[in-house]
Amino acid sequence: MYWQTRADDLVVKAMIGLLERNQNVPKDRIDDVAIAATTQEGDQGLTLGRTSALLAGLPQSVPGYAIDRMCAGAMTAVTTVAGGVSFGAYDVAIAGGVEHMGRHPLGIGADPNPRFLAEKLVSPDALDMGKTAERIHDRFPHLTKERADRFGMLSQQKVAAAYEAGKLQPDLISVATRSADGWGLATRDEGMRPETTMEGLAGLRTPFRPHGRVTAGTSSPLTDGATVSMIAGADAVKEFGLTPKMRMVSFAFAGVEPEIMGLGPVPSTEKALRKAGLSIDDIGLFELNEAFAIQVLSFLDHFGIADDDPRVNPWGGAIAVGHPLAASGVRLMIQLAAQFAEHPEVRYGITAMCVGLGQGGTVIWENPSWNGRRK
């Protein structure tokens, strides 16, 4: 539906929506704008943070820059500006990401250094995300295709239920679209398949390996999208009368073998927990990016969490709504913030994701609505 919509227009529309919902913040008091994209060319190039700030109507005095950590682009934009807030350099900043995968498929135009293969630094499979997912199945045979299929089906069902209950709509921005049929209005995610069944999933082909285990039903679809968030320090929250939705406790990024990049959130989460002085048992809600079902299952298996634990992605995830690479980190945060408001008994939550070329990213958040009691 966004085939004829520019990538920068997507992020500008999201930014305008953010500013409209936070009108107490004077536009000239925004200290910086960090916008991520994985493929920084064409309408995703030209220092997106600066160009999108100008297009969204921010004063010329507001600077901006672009960021790239592939899938964790928006997450890195958030943690980077949060560091500026913590240091005292920023009062308020905007962080987000955009990916128009229709215009800019993953890896298009890239020219990997021949040393990667010549010196066997990485396997050729490392640049094919689907093949890295198959390798996790190889490493953990008890994480079967059937378990992955069931996880994919439940993601579709949970997203459909969340839409039906009106959980997701408050954080969406409607965008005008254009097609051969004329003008339209995008008001909901396009790739959802609530009719998904285990029988249907069992018959899908495995495009990444003959007789493999990863299918379209257990993978995030190619998606176009943009997200933005406002990050503010405590003094700015008080000055502008803002209502904080989450408080950042700690964050961490970690590296793993590129061939099994889906395992990245395991060490990044362990690292973030250590820095926060917490254990996995302290976490009451998880928003895990569903790049592939097997990737999430490997995380849950490592930490001893059931495949269908109600704390995990209660409103579904990227298998249903898509994973527009650099935009997804903030989507996870938006959903966790909304769930915090509904669960004052939960003090801590996690947003985590795997990252191409062998990385993982995790942010631990505290619920400002926490009532001091556990369920």
Annotated catalytic residue within 71, 100, 137, 343: 71
Annotated catalytic residue within 104, 137, 343, 354: 354
Do residues 194 and 119 make contact, with C-beta atoms less than 8 angstroms apart? no
Long-range own/partner contacts, residues 333-336 (CB < 8 A, 24 or more apart): 333/75, 333/78, 333/229, 333/246, 333/287, 333/363, 333/365, 334/171, 334/227, 334/229, 335/168, 335/171, 335/287, 336/246, 336/285, 336/287, 336/365
- Known catalytic residue: 211? no
Residue carrying structure tokens 């769930």: 339
What residues does 106 pair with on adjacent strands?
none
Annotated catalytic residue within 100, 137, 323, 343: 323
- Known catalytic residue: 323? yes
- Short-list 351, 354, 356, 348, CA closest to 374: 348
- Short-list 84, 92, 89, CA closest to 29: 92
Do residues 196 and 190 make contact, with C-beta atoms less than 8 angstroms apart? no
Q: What is the dihedral of CA 333, 334, 336, 342, to 10 degrees?
A: 160
- Known catalytic residue: 343? no
Report residue 204 as tokens: 């899908």
What is the Cα–Cα distance from 228 to 96, expressed in whole angstroms? Answer: 4
* Helix, strand, coil percentages for the chain (3-state, nearest 5): 40, 20, 40
Number of Cβ within 10 Å of residue 111's Cβ equals 5
Q: What is the DSSP letter of 357?
A: T
Sheet holding 283-288, edge to edge: 247-255, 359-366, 348-355, 283-288
Count CA atoms within 13 Å of residue 96 on its CB side: 29
Give the distance between the most distant pair of CA atoms in the chain.
59
Do residues 149 and 296 make contact, with C-beta atoms less than 8 angstroms apart? no
Catalytic residue numbers read 71, 323, 354
